[in-house]
């Protein structure tokens, strides 16, 4: 009997599902590193509230990574500490940072949906159910990222605009920490 067959006899988590989940571990880990790098740039540039928002976001992405990491091992698989490379450190503007966040979150939503679709198609309802938390979380994160980006159009970036946007990002951060956003 092949090693792969022995493994699958002792658990219901399929090898393909495990691979997809480990890919998601990598994606959440990269999100955390990406947002930490953005937080650092904002902090260095004096955008204190944007930095606060992004430091928190980086911590949340690490938590997302760990939740899947533990799930894989608890389901009888092997969670892999991902290689995190190619993290961008410099950005052209505060607006660009928030454009990149929304773009990235949409990419993550697609990856989550792909896992949910896969889990359903192979009748892995444990993974399907586990991933529902991520479906809800992505919807909330996309909304928050879109709101953050909208501030740039609503307030405008001229004069004290950027300062005001930074203040509003602080409020958005506080609301989300209190579970209101
Ligand atoms: Fe995430
Ligand atoms: Fe996220």
Task: Say how far apart CA 132 and CA 53 lie, in whole Å.
Answer: 25
Neighbour-count burial of 7, counting CB atoms closer than 10 A to its CB (0-12 exposed, 13-18 middle, 19+ buried) = middle
pLDDT at 10: 80
Give the distance (Å) from ligand 2 centre to CA of residue 164.
Answer: 24
CATH code at position 88: 1.20.1260.10
Question: Average pLDDT, whole number, for the chain?
Answer: 94
> Does 114 map to a domain?
yes
pLDDT of 1 above 70? no
Tens of pLDDT, residue by residue over 113-128, are: 999 999 999 999 999 9
> Does 7 map to a domain?
no
pLDDT of 60 above 80? yes
Task: Say how far apart CA 65 and CA 139 lie, in whole Å.
Answer: 17
Structural domain harbouring 137 = 14-177
pLDDT at 3: 65
* Confidence category of residue 168, pLDDT binned at 50, 70, 90: very high
Is 105 annotated in a binding site? The answer is yes
Between the CA of residue 31 and those of 4, 11, 39, what are the distances in Å? Answer: 31, 30, 12
pLDDT at 178: 84
Give the distance (Å) from ligand 2 centre to CA of residue 46.
Answer: 24
- Residues 32-47 have a mean pLDDT of 98
> Does 5 map to a domain?
no
> Does 4 map to a domain?
no
Task: Say how far apart CA 161 and CA 152 lie, in whole Å.
Answer: 8
Give the distance (Å) from ligand 2 centre to CA of residue 45.
Answer: 23
pLDDT of 4 above 90? no
> Does 1 map to a domain?
no
Between the CA of residue 137 and those of 101, 106, 129, what are the distances in Å? Answer: 15, 12, 14
Lowest-confidence segment of 9-13, 52-56, 70-74, 127-131 by average pLDDT: 9-13
Ligand located closest to 134 CA: 1
Give the distance (Å) from ligand 1 centre to CA of residue 59.
Answer: 10
pLDDT of 172 above 60? yes
> Does 6 map to a domain?
no
pLDDT at 5: 60
Task: Say how far apart CA 40 and CA 23 lie, in whole Å.
Answer: 26
Instruction: Report the domain count for the chain.
Output: 1
Share of the chain above pLDDT 70, in %: 94
> Does 21 map to a domain?
yes
> Does 104 map to a domain?
yes
């Amino acid at each position: 009997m092949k090693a792969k067959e022995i493994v699958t006899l002792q658990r219901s988590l399929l090898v393909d599902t495990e691979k997809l989940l480990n890919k998601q571990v990598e994606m959440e880990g990269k999100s955390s590193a990406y947002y930490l790098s953005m937080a650092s740039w904002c902090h260095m540039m004096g955008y204190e509230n944007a930095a606060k928002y992004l430091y928190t976001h980086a911590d949340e992405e690490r938590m997302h990574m760990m939740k899947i990491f533990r799930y894989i091992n608890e389901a009888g698989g092997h969670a892999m500490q991902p290689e995190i490379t190619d993290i961008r450190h410099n950005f052209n503007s505060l607006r660009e940072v928030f454009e990149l966040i929304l773009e990235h979150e949409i990419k993550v939503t697609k990856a989550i949906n792909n896992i949910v679709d896969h889990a359903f198609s192979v009748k892995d309802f444990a993974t399907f159910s586990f991933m529902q938390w991520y479906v809800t979380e992505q919807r909330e994160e996309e909304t928050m990222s879109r709101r953050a980006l909208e501030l740039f159009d609503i307030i405008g970036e001229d004069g004290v605009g950027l300062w005001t946007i930074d203040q509003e990002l602080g409020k958005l951060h506080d609301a989300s920490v209190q579970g209101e956003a």
